[in-house]
Amino acid sequence: MGWRKWFLVGLALGLCVWALVKVAPPSRANPSVQADSRGPSQYLSSGVFTTAHSSATSAVTDFLDVHPEHPAQPIAYTHKVHLANGLKCEDCHVGVDQGPDARIPGVAFCMTCHQAIDTDNPEIRKIAAYAARGEEIPWVRVYNYSPSAHVKFNHAPHIRAGVQCASCHGDMTTQTTAERKVNLNMGYCVQCHREKQVSVDCELCHN
Amino acid sequence: MERRNFIKISALTGMLATLDACGRPDQELIRFVPEEDLIPGIATWKPSVCTLCSAGCGLLVRVMEGDAEVVRHGQRGLMQMGLAKKLEGNPRSPINQGKLCARGHAGLQVLYNPDRITHPIRRTGARGSGEYQAIGWDDALKELSTHLTALQSAKATNSLSFLTRPLSGQRRELIERFLKVFGAPPAVWYEPFDEAVLRQANFLSFGHGALPTFDLGRADYVLSFGADFLGTWNSPVAQSVGYGEMRQGRSGRRAKFVQVEARMSQTGANCDEWIACRPGTEGLLALGIAHVILSNKLAPQGAAFRAGSLIAGWSAGLPESTPEAVENQTGVNAAVITRIAHEITKSGSGTAIIGGAPLAHTNGLFNALAVNALEALVDRGRDQGPILGFTPDPAIGDAGQPAVSAPTGLAGLNSLAQSALGGQPNAPQVLFLYEANPIFSAPPGTKIREALARIPYIVSFGNFIDETSAQADLILPDHAPLESWLDSIGESGSLQSVVNLAPPAVAPLHDTRAMPDVLLGLASQLGGDVAKALPWTTFDALLRAAYVPLRARGGSIDPKTDDDFWTALQAQGIWSSTPGTASAAGSRSAAGASSPAAARRAPTAPAAPEFAGNADDFPFHFLPYVSQSFGDGSLANLPWLQELPDVLTTAMWSSWVEINPSTGARLGIQPGDLVEIGSQQGRVRAAAVLSPGIAPDVVAMPVGQGHDNFGRFASGRGANPLSILATLAERETGSLAWAATRVKIVRIGAPEQATLTLFSEGRSGFPHEEESR
Amino acid sequence: MSHKWAMVVDLDRCTGCEACVVACHAENNIPTVGEDQAARGRAMHWIRVERSWEGDFPNPQIRFQPVLCQQCDDAPCEPVCPTYASYHTSEGLNGQVYNRCIGTRFCANACPYNVRFFNFYNPTWDLPLNLQLNPDVSVRSVGIMEKCTFCVQRIKSAEIQAEAEHREMKDGDFTTACAQSCASKALVFGDLDDPDSEVSRLQSSNRATKLLGELGTKPNVSYLERGTWQDATSG
């Protein structure tokens, strides 16, 4: 037996991990909001144990800090082109200097320019089609934190402090759709906080 | 197979099985283009009005962008919209001054309640079967309008009835006007704990048929007869603000607070001296105290003037109300009566308040007149006038209209029921239901359930299925309050006139429509005089027309034009008169009463209370009390309030009966035992709580639980004390005497048979009670 | 400027209305556990109103006392946490870091005030009640301990706001959810490092006591004793 057995087990494990990494869906839902509204209240039944993660997949990807690096987006948007045309980050990502979120603009916002600009482009036609249907473009999230990190990131103080967008989001002049080029783990945040002599109190971000 | 191989294979298959679960994305909903432009993560605060009790506190709603599941063009999807995250008191309100009570906070759970009716529905099964079909708004309104035009053609417009709770503001106006011009009788304004007795007493004693305003922050001595003024009575938040002031808000002065009641309430728990008084004899006690003051000349001559003259024997010094005589009548020690009389008059400014159970007896009006007379005798204030005052009338619309529609009480409900049951020509054919649940909250003797069964067509505008709206044939769900244009006129809680006016704080979540808009739409469809009398297409147009004239009165908004005024009023949510300017002379007349009639009134002799049930068979007084959590029961479907521990017992999700420990010992009742409380009308069962704060011959039960059809959080839980009340009424006003029922107690079983969940102790008798936390 | 957050509870003003309890639930995404779990003692009221009865009818007496995390300077819950999830912040708070918590519950065991609550199950909200959840506060999942944080999200928000406006924070800039709702102004929150703040003034009252102070926890919540009728002094 010996080495053959262990080789097989290792191979199996390796296959599993590879499969998880490649196939894991981006985590969207908050695992805590699980109740279905249609049936009798969850409250009225006795406690049923549910895990913190909704599946083993999600637990493992969370633990291994696996993120989709460059997910496919419904529209082949290119940051490169827009930035080259003189737009600045905050022109579309409105509110990034006022609050926690840098919002992705809605389809109505895109159409303010694209009802006239480059209307023959098939991708623009797709956008127009969404707008005509009253539907938002279903962008796939690139930047988020795992819910189990219980971290709240607030853009506004960073922008006010003069942190460049590229520090965390990479050089967008080289990107089409967003790519997670920078490894945004806690060490990255703490390192910069230490350099700039900003508080590293846990509750500043985890509350 | 060998164990090793077995484990290997199991491990592999296990992994593959979990792999199978991945790679399939969640069923994703499409995302609609938002209808509002909000910056995520940033809150805007919008004004609103709390409608959960009649105090009319002003609100600020924290609105933030979030994803909600909505239906657009028949398709389900996600949409970013403003969501209400938190409610706070509006600092601009002179009534609640930026504060809010426990129930007010839970208003958010009305808006996002999972049991809300989300679109119009029409009954398909039998009434109460819960079988409905969805129906579009256009069809629903067409059906409704058909029924009304049928009444018009048959010259039977007086067969339309409207059953709702007393409302303030333009909703009230709209309903009254609609009914009047349609030719229907006036609405039945019913709520179980209406304050008809107190309003009538205040009209007679002070010339103001309204709820009182007590400036407690200036008081030095508060003598309260049964009023839960820090919890549920009148304007609890305003009164709590004043209470804090009177205790520790003035250096060197701390007011004394004495509470007279048969069962220690949340308010009574804060007193310096608690006086247990026999139920229904509170008026006699007040006269005993007044006697000591009059006979020892502790107050200026003629201080009580009008209020005193309403009491027989007042001018003679109340000779029959000596402390010894009153001790016999009330059970309160003569020495205590004498001492309180001296204390209250010696204090800088004393006040006497009456509310709650003392008014809910057959002699409730006498009790109120007696306490009002005592109040007039002792309340001379210090520099700024008496503690008791009345909110000035802003005189919107017809001058002299009370701020809140006069409750028609038991009389109104009885007449509706009798007319339906009697099968007379003008028996109701169509009933509109709005914010009233008499099947739950009215005593069974009103036979309202049987009466509703006789009414051919019932339409409900409410947000929820409850015991009464379950009888409806057509349900046209109203928006939740935070989704509605709201207005109310403050009746009490401030010495400034207060008008609350707010646009919707959030967009509607479901396919609902504002009830006033539905009525206006109906009016326009009916055409003719009805349409002419109600020419507005939307409620906010009506509101604008009603309130823009306030601009002429100055006050808290100082605009240059009518448009500016309207914009500012919506933005601030509140208009108030300048302090000290509005005269309190504008009187609020109680329905049907007028000053000359009051002057002609013969002095009232002391009246003893009557009870339902004789003392031998039913040895205990039954006290159903307004719950700190659920009010009159209409808030039982809000989970925060179900889980809120009752402050005196820590009970959650439960009903209970409060019994004196000596009574418990005598009857062999242990804490948590299941007991049955029986009146002539019926029986309820709940767990017993032994409480030193209740007289040995009184049992008390909070109102609010015992719903059988009110959503997932409230249904099938606890017991409803209102269901065993007799239909005794206060002699003069006809108001329900809810404290006048006598009961007996029977022990049914051990705690395992009852369900009482306590925050402090877990479930009494729960099998796992040995588990440690 | 440094801060040391503290609270003063005036027991002579507290009426037992429990507005603070519901306000806290709304602000902090506290789950409603339901009747069964509540019966097992697992209801999570970060602030609760305790009451103690003395005496018998006809002279019973009740005293109300709101109890919340005392944010002790010498917190017994901190040294027992194996993962440093319960720690002391630089502003005097006892912080609870949810992602560090592995659910040993030693902290709840050590806390003499019983103000720590454990999520035995994943909290659930029957939709659409979840729409009310406060986005500034984490939603805790199963296996995590939670407790009153002195509304740290409001503290942070006010500090960020003051920084954005290039000014110092002042007393009254913000307050906790419970204190904001308290009609009788029994709950007062503020900065002890600000000598002019309301809490600094009230803490030096001769009515001020600490709950279980004899245990040496050094709580940052002071309770002002209830008065008696003869007292003419204020706090």
Residue A63: the pLDDT is 81
C205-212 LR contacts (CB < 8 Å, sep 24+)? C205/C235, C206/C233, C207/C12, C207/C233, C207/C235, C208/C8, C210/C70, C211/C65, C211/C67, C211/C70, C211/C113, C212/C112, C212/C113
The Cα–Cα gap between C73 and B497 comes to: 48
**Chain B residues close to A98, C-beta within 8 Å:** 39, 42
CB atoms inside a 10 Å sphere around CB C53: 15
Strand ranges in C55-134 using DSSP code E only, listed in sequence order: 61-67, 86-88, 94-96, 117-118
CA B573 to mean position of chain CA atoms: 22
User: What pTM does this model have?
Assistant: 0.92
DSSP per-residue codes, B324-378: HHHHHHH---HHHHHHHHHHHHHSSSEEEEE-SGGGSSTTHHHHHHHHHHHHHHH
Model confidence over B727-764: pLDDT tens digits? 999 999 989 999 999 999 999 999 888 889 999 865 44
Residue C233: the pLDDT is 33
Interchain CB distance below 8 Å, B26 and A28: yes
- B729 beta partners: B736
Evaluate whether A78 touches A172 at the Cβ level (below 8 Å). Answer: no
Helix (H, G, I), strand (E, B), or coil: what is residue A133? Answer: helix
Interchain CB distance below 8 Å, B269 and C40: no
Interchain CB distance below 8 Å, B39 and A107: no
Using CA atoms, how far residue B436 sits from B53, B118, B417, B634, in Å, is 13, 19, 14, 9
Residue type, C199: V
Residues whose CB is less than 8 angstroms from the CB of residue B629 and which lie 6 or more positions away in sequence, other chains included = B102, B103, B635, B636, B641, B642, B644, B646, B702, B704
Question: Is C195 a member of any domain?
Answer: yes
Residue type, B312: A
Closest by Cα among B83, B39, B115 to B507:
B83
Of C43, C49, C129, nearest to B643 by CB-CB distance is C43
Structure-block tokens of residue A200: 């590293």
Interchain CB distance below 8 Å, B266 and C15: yes
At B85, which helix (H) or strand (E)?
Answer: strand B75-89
**Chain B residues close to A16, C-beta within 8 Å:** 15-16, 19
DSSP per-residue codes, B417-449: HHHHHHT-TT--SEEEEES--HHHHS-GGG-HH
Residue B39 zone, left/alpha/beta (φ > 0; ψ -120 to 50; rest): beta
**Chain A residues close to B16, C-beta within 8 Å:** 16
pLDDT at C232 over 70: no
All partners of chain A with 3 or more CB pairs under 8 angstroms:
B, C
Interface contact B694, partner C, CB < 8 A: yes
Evaluate whether B433 touches B402 at the Cβ level (below 8 Å). Answer: no
Residue B587: the pLDDT is 34
Q: Give me Rg for the CA atoms of chain A.
A: 21
Interchain CB distance below 8 Å, B641 and C22: yes
Residue C32: the pLDDT is 95
Residue type, B338: T
Residues of chain B with pLDDT under 50: 10-11, 13-26, 583-594, 763-773
**Chain B residues close to A12, C-beta within 8 Å:** 11-12, 15
| Residue B38: closest C-alpha in chain A | A95
Closest by Cα among B63, B45, B174, B42 to B111:
B63
Interchain CB distance below 8 Å, B32 and A135: yes
Domain count within chain A: 1
pLDDT at A37 over 60: no
Residue numbers of the domain that contains A174:
79-104+139-205
Interchain CB distance below 8 Å, A201 and C90: yes
CB atoms inside a 10 Å sphere around CB A34: 17
The Cα–Cα gap between B207 and B205 comes to: 6
Model confidence over B332-386: pLDDT tens digits? 999 999 999 999 999 989 999 999 999 999 999 999 999 999 999 999 876 778 9
Residue numbers of the domain that contains C205:
5-224
**Chain A residues close to C140, C-beta within 8 Å:** 32, 150
Of A31, A45, A204, nearest to C156 by CB-CB distance is A204
Question: Is C81 a member of any domain?
Answer: yes
Nearest chain A CA: its distance from C154 CA (Å)? 11
* Backbone phi, psi, residue B179, to 5°: -65, -40
- Please identify which residue in the block is written with the tokens 């249904």: B715
Question: Is A120 a member of any domain?
Answer: no
Domain count within chain C: 1
Tally: H helices and E strands in chain C: 6, 10
**Chain B residues close to A36, C-beta within 8 Å:** none
Residue B366: the pLDDT is 97
Evaluate whether B150 touches B128 at the Cβ level (below 8 Å). Answer: no
Residue type, C43: A
Residue A29: the pLDDT is 31
Helix (H, G, I), strand (E, B), or coil: what is residue B710? Answer: coil
**Chain A residues close to C37, C-beta within 8 Å:** 46-47
Evaluate whether B46 touches B486 at the Cβ level (below 8 Å). Answer: no
Interchain CB distance below 8 Å, B247 and C64: no
CB atoms inside a 10 Å sphere around CB B296: 13
At A156, which helix (H) or strand (E)?
Answer: helix A155-160
CATH number where C61 lies: 3.30.70.20
Model confidence over A62-106: pLDDT tens digits? 888 788 888 899 999 999 999 999 999 999 999 899 999 988 999
Nearest chain A CA: its distance from B39 CA (Å)? 6
**Chain C residues close to B69, C-beta within 8 Å:** 127-128
Residue B313: the pLDDT is 94
The Cα–Cα gap between B365 and B198 comes to: 7
**Strand C48-54, strand C61-67: pairing:** antiparallel
Domain architecture of chain B: domains with CATH:
30-111 (2.20.25.90), 121-192+400-576 (3.40.50.740), 213-389 (3.40.228.10), 620-763 (2.40.40.20)
Structure-block tokens of residue B515: 């009830």
Question: Is C73 a member of any domain?
Answer: yes
CB-defined contacts B:C, below 8 A: 227
Of B22, B41, B712, nearest to A23 by CB-CB distance is B22
Evaluate whether A75 touches A137 at the Cβ level (below 8 Å). Answer: yes
Question: Is A86 a member of any domain?
Answer: yes
Model confidence over A110-169: pLDDT tens digits? 999 999 999 999 999 999 999 999 999 999 989 888 888 899 999 999 999 999 999 999
Residues whose CB is less than 8 angstroms from the CB of residue C33 and which lie 6 or more positions away in sequence, other chains included = A43, B643, C42, C43, C44, C121, C123
The Cα–Cα gap between B576 and B95 comes to: 10
Closest by Cα among B112, B114, B508, B48 to C131:
B112
Residue type, B577: S
Taking each helix axis from N to C end, the angle separating B539-547 and B562-572, rounded to the nearest 10 degrees, works out to: 110
Residue B25: the pLDDT is 41
Model confidence over B14-71: pLDDT tens digits? 444 334 333 334 457 889 999 888 889 999 999 999 999 999 999 999 999 999 999 8
| Residue A37: closest C-alpha in chain B | B114
| Residue A41: closest C-alpha in chain B | B712
C158-165 LR contacts (CB < 8 Å, sep 24+)? C160/A154, C160/A156, C160/A157, C163/A157, C163/A160, C164/A156, C164/A157, C164/A160
Nearest chain A CA: its distance from B509 CA (Å)? 15
Q: Which residues of C touch A (CB under 8 A)?
A: 32-37, 87, 89-91, 93, 95, 97-100, 120-128, 130, 133, 135-143, 149, 152-153, 156, 160, 163-164
At B148, which helix (H) or strand (E)?
Answer: helix B137-153
ipTM over 0.85: yes
Question: Is C234 a member of any domain?
Answer: no
**Strand B486-489, strand B498-502: pairing:** antiparallel
* Backbone phi, psi, residue B476, to 5°: -115, 90
**Chain B residues close to A101, C-beta within 8 Å:** 39-41
